[in-house]
Amino acid sequence: MTTSTTTTIADSKPYAWPFDGNLTPANTCLIVIDMQVDFCSPGGYVDSMGYDISLTRAPIVPIQNVLTCMRMKGYPILHTREGHNPDLSDCPANKLWRSQQIGAAIGQVGPCGRILIKGEPGWEIIPELEPIKGEVVIDKPGKGSFVGTSLDLILRTKGIRNIILAGVTTDVCVHTTMRNANDMGYECLLLEDCTAATDPNNHEAAISMVQKQGGVFGATCTSQELIETLSSSSLA
């Protein structure tokens, strides 16, 4: 729905997002989370764990479509990468232990270099979604995008209050970021087809959780619903 004073995504669930109809390039950004070789490509971390990477690659085209629209409209775009220092000084012992138990030890040498290590080929964002000049890249050591990073400071400096979320995985890094952002007062929207999990049931459950209690963490919609709204908005 678009009027001279408000813009909302009428079909987002469980409410028309954002809640106050204040959706502009000046206060809204897209964060593309962890679309890295290690999570989306053969030989990476997710592949080494034995999961089907066709699931984590499924959002690539929808994200490309959203990027094209939002870049054209002048919305800020941010990207995140999960990774650790080469000496593993910022990798918690329990996280390292868990990765070792599942056969994809952080720091272990694999087809894409050392797993989840900064500077290695697997740590890089996939070519299909490569950031363009001027887009912020947040390097994070954990699941959430706010812990151990300057993301909150960057967003508040830019005047951002609305966050649109894409990337992988829906149930882990995307959800952790969304929950943290919600607690910090940001108005969040999860793009259903621009996110994915290593288990489709987890993906669907994560979407459902957002929609509960009137939108406990925000709202969800499809990439097409977002694109249609932004394309028809006189404010974007």
Q: Percent of the chain having pLDDT more than 70?
A: 97
Q: Reply yes or no on whether 95 is catalytic.
A: no
Both tokens assigned to 131: 């950031």
Question: What are 59-115's pLDDT values in tens digits?
Answer: 999 999 999 999 999 999 999 999 999 999 999 999 999 999 999 999 999 999 999
Answer whether the bond into residue 177 is a cis peptide, omega within 30°. Answer: no
Q: Are 103 and 46 in contact (CB under 8 A)?
A: no
Question: Is pLDDT at 3 greater than 70 in this prediction?
Answer: no
Q: Looking at 29, 40, 140, 221, which residue is catalytic? A: 140
Geometric angle at alpha carbon 194, from 6 and 20, rounded to 5°: 20
Q: Using pLDDT thresholds of 50, 70 and 90, give the confidence band for residue 1.
A: very low
Q: How far apart are CA 177 and CA 24, in angstroms?
A: 21
Q: Looking at 29, 34, 171, 194, which residue is catalytic? A: 34
Q: How far apart are CA 49 and CA 104, in angstroms?
A: 6
Q: What integer pLDDT is reported at residue 234 of this predicted model?
A: 61
Q: Looking at 112, 173, 194, 221, which residue is catalytic? A: 173
Q: Using pLDDT thresholds of 50, 70 and 90, give the confidence band for residue 2.
A: very low
Question: Is pLDDT at 26 greater than 60 in this prediction?
Answer: yes
Question: What are 121-163's pLDDT values in tens digits?
Answer: 999 999 999 999 999 999 999 999 999 999 999 999 999 999 9
Q: Reply yes or no on whether 90 is catalytic.
A: no
Both tokens assigned to 187: 């108005």
**Count of CB atoms within 10 A of residue 192's CB?**
22
Question: Is pLDDT at 51 greater than 90 in this prediction?
Answer: yes
Rounded to the nearest 10 degrees, the angle between the axes of helix 200-211 and helix 175-183 is 20
Both tokens assigned to 5: 């004073």
Over range 193-213, report the average pLDDT: 98
Both tokens assigned to 52: 């089907």
Q: How far apart are CA 102 and CA 51, in angstroms?
A: 11
Q: Are 81 and 119 in contact (CB under 8 A)?
A: no
SS3 7: strand
Q: What integer pLDDT is reported at residue 236 of this predicted model?
A: 43
Over range 46-53, report the average pLDDT: 96
DSSP E strands, 92-226 = 109-110, 113-114, 136-140, 162-168, 187-196, 219-221
Q: What integer pLDDT is reported at residue 235 of this predicted model?
A: 52
Q: Are 70 and 30 in contact (CB under 8 A)?
A: yes
Question: What are 75-86's pLDDT values in tens digits?
Answer: 999 999 999 999
Q: What integer pLDDT is reported at residue 5 of this predicted model?
A: 61
Q: Reply yes or no on whether 29 is catalytic.
A: no
Q: Are 236 and 73 in contact (CB under 8 A)?
A: yes
Question: What are 166-192's pLDDT values in tens digits?
Answer: 999 999 999 999 999 999 999 999 999
Q: What integer pLDDT is reported at residue 160 of this predicted model?
A: 98
Integer angstrom CA distances of residue 94 from 21, 90, 123, 140, 185: 43, 12, 21, 17, 30
